[in-house]
Structure 1
């Protein structure tokens, strides 16, 4: 019986599913928790249907989204509320990083210029 991959490898694969701005955008569009038709996702992302379909396939492969068909329309939703929570945590983390960077830049601008010593 084959062994399961280590948890860090499984986590890395999850982040591979997130590793594209279009996929993050799609997840953000789905984050409010409502089912969204593909036509809306196309309009909101500005992608051609074939390109969006490739990104949605990746998101499905990594179990981040689910789909259902209603008549001729396909709807997508997050596979778990934890996906929306992960997006929120990432946004909060980025805010902290940007604030820290801003504070460092402000502190550096207030420091006197280094003096050179003549030899």
Structure 2
């Protein structure tokens, strides 16, 4: 029995639902990175980064290649970067609207 598409999509977005994974995908959207290059950029322990990379690898979002003792990661599709850019645009719109509401709430009340 196949899973409904909405469930597959939900699982996909759950995979994206961790700040370290998002940061890793942002970095890999710029270029391929070795794990050692990502550590200072992501700001977590090596074991935690390794766990998050494994989740992304199982989801098929990143690929690896080995060069000597270094492991390099890259995105499996440039569309991952496109998705993150769309998310950024949506957040910008939503937060801008919310800021407008907050500014309206802070405005002095007109005299009665």
Q: TM-score, normalised by structure 2?
A: 0.91
Between Structure 1 and Structure 2, whose CA radius of gyration is higher? 1
Map Cα deviations across residues 23-82 of structure 1 (whole Å, 9 max, x no partner).
1111111111x2110100112112222111100011111111111111111000111111
Aligned CA RMSD, in angstroms, stands at: 1.7
Tell me, yes or no, if structure 1 residue 62 matches structure 2 residue 59.
Answer: yes
Q: Which runs of 4+ in 1 moved over 3 A?
A: none
Gaps of 5+ in 1: none
How do residues 37-116 of structure 1 correspond to structure 2 at under 5 angstroms? 37-110=34-107, 112=109
State the Cα distance separating 1:111 from its structure 2 match. Answer: 5.9
Aligned partner of 1:29 in structure 2 is: 27
Q: Supply the distance in 1 between the matched residues of 2:29 and 2:74 (Cα, whole angstroms).
A: 8
Q: TM-score, normalised by structure 1?
A: 0.86
Q: Supply the distance in 2 between the matched residues of 1:44 and 1:106 (Cα, whole angstroms).
A: 34
Gaps of 5+ in 2: none
Q: Supply the distance in 2 between the matched residues of 1:48 and 1:110 (Cα, whole angstroms).
A: 45
Kindly tell me the number of residue pairs found equivalent between the two proteins. Answer: 112
